[in-house]
Amino acid sequence: MSTTIKTLFLDMGGVILTNGWGQASRKQAAEKFSLDLNELNERHKLAFDAYESGKMTLPEYLQLTVFYTPRSFTPEVFTEFMYQQSQPLHDMLEFVQRLKQQYGLRVIALNNEGRELNEYRIRTFGLDKFIDAFVSSAFVHMRKPDKEIYTLALDIAYVKPAEALYFDDRLLFVQVARSLGINSIQHTSVENTRQELQQYGLIVA
């Protein structure tokens, strides 16, 4: 079956990897390091947009959210804990690579992530071996759901919206992409995504 899709835009957290620093991870951190979870979440909410947008380093983010008061552990220990929250979703990683190989698609990451976490995830899980470019919030200094990050991804891929397909686990981000004419699938499972792909002429062996 033929397809008009040339490029796959791919969210990372919740699609091919676990979330980098989500609510569940912060809860674990609060328990492990005896932090006030409410205070951590409040400070996170105020600081994380700047970190994800590449306007703050990870040490600066941690200084504002954790190390604003003396702690019994070091920033290095806490950072390593943060990194360990990232785990691969093997089935989807393999599925995306088969999809790319079978149809010759370009694969471009379109994700919100701070620089250090993003680079760790790319390096640790070899994402640059099959992802052709990274339109990541920390790299381009804008975040989803800002429409400009989607249009930038289209420009970088040099494709029309109808020639692109976007995977994201968050419906709001999918809806923004659809409003721009980008074909989009809300990823909930490998099997669901496999079935949704058929309407675009993409049948993965």
The CATH topology of domain 7-19+88-200 is: Rossmann fold (3.40.50)
Q: What is the pLDDT of residue 3?
A: 86
d(CA 69, CA 184): 44
Mean pLDDT, the chain, as a whole number? Answer: 98
Homologous superfamily of domain range 23-84? Putative phosphatase; domain 2 (1.10.150.240)
Are the beta carbons of 109 and 132 closer than 8 angstroms? Answer: no
pLDDT digit string (tens) for 88-108? Answer: 999 999 999 999 999 999 999
Residues carrying CATH 3.40.50.1000, the chain: 7-19+88-200
Residues carrying CATH 1.10.150.240, the chain: 23-84
List Cα–Cα distances, 21 to 18, 25, 28, 117, 147, in angstroms. 9, 6, 11, 9, 23
Q: What is the pLDDT of residue 58?
A: 99
Q: What is the pLDDT of residue 1?
A: 54
pLDDT digit string (tens) for 26-45? Answer: 999 999 999 999 999 999 99
- Confidence (pTM): 0.95
Q: What is the pLDDT of residue 164?
A: 99
